[in-house]
Structure 1
Amino acid sequence: MITLWLDIDNTLYSAQSGISAHMGKKIHQYFLGMGLEEEEASALHLQYYTKYGLALRGLMLHHDVDPLDFDRKCDQSLPLEDLIKPDPALRKLLQDIDRSKIRLHAERVLRILNLDDQIEGLIFCDYTQPNFSCKPDPEFYHQAMEKAGVTDPSTCYL
């Protein structure tokens, strides 16, 4: 058995959708809402994204930001329904693969793309956990394998 890991953002939909640009603006606004000046907000956003894989991790670690508030103001406020549409070729590709082990944001994207019935399970950055891990932290991948019941990384594809 193999396990196929699908990265939702800019993978199941085109990077040309504009979602990353919209997200960047929302995150920048979040930094500005903390009272930071434009340049300081931009620099800190880049620093946290580069160091932690998510700006949110840096915000949580250094500014005690509530991840669910961040999620509401950033991820959940994106106009995804206007930016992405189902891709019949991608759907067919997933239908042709034996069922593989694959939350709010992920479920929403999968639903909009009409792929939610093609995915057996989700592994995600769980903002409800006080010290969640995320890509590219190796701990994220170890936790994902554990949750999926996978012990042999050579059977996993990302």
Structure 2
Amino acid sequence: MPVLFFDVDDCLYSRASKVQEASSALTDSYFEHRLGFGKEDTNRVRNKQRKKYGLIVEGLASNHQIDPLEYNSMVDDAIELESLIRPDSKLSRLLQDVDTSKVKLWLLTNAYVTHA
């Protein structure tokens, strides 16, 4: 059976929702308050971790011995998605119209289960 993959992160909601901006602000706050980094170091380390590991949290856990679940609770789970993402009737119809007897629908994220 064919599979239709959707990446939930930054793909199934409008860029105008500002989810990425909220995530970046919380990440900056985590770097500043939890790790004691300044803005310049935050940008440098964040970009390095994302490029090398694909995920900031993976790099932080490997190189800065942070607790990934603490990071998740302070960043991903702290994003107020309910106030940022609005119902999207066109997207809902698109997903509901997928004939799941012919195509298996998979929605993926690299976020921890509580954020997903």
The question of whether the paired residues in 1 share the 8 Å contact of 2:7 and 2:109 is answered with: no
The question of whether the paired residues in 2 share the 8 Å contact of 1:19 and 1:83 is answered with: yes
Task: State the match for 1:4 in structure 2.
Answer: 4
The runs of 4+ residues in structure 1 deviating greater than 6 Å are none
The alpha carbon displacement at 1:27 in A equals 0.7
For the structure 1 residues 19 and 88, does the alpha-carbon distance in structure 2 shift closer, same or farther, using more than 3 Å as the test? same
Structure with more contact order per residue of length (Cα contacts < 8 Å, sep ≥ 6): 2
The alpha carbon displacement at 1:28 in A equals 1.1
The question of whether the paired residues in 1 share the 8 Å contact of 2:26 and 2:75 is answered with: yes
The question of whether the paired residues in 2 share the 8 Å contact of 1:67 and 1:127 is answered with: no
CA deviations over 1:30-69 (Å, ceiling 9, x no partner): 1112111221111101111122221111101111111110
Counterpart AA for 1:17: S
Matches of residues 39-78 of structure 1 in structure 2 within 5 Å?
Answer: 39-78=40-79
**TM-score, with length taken from structure 2:** 0.84
Residues paired across the two proteins, number: 109
- The structure where strand makes up a greater share of residues is 2
CA deviations over 1:86-118 (Å, ceiling 9, x no partner): 11111111111122241xxxxxxxxxxxxxxxx
> Structure 1: which 5+ residue stretches go unaligned?
103-121, 129-158
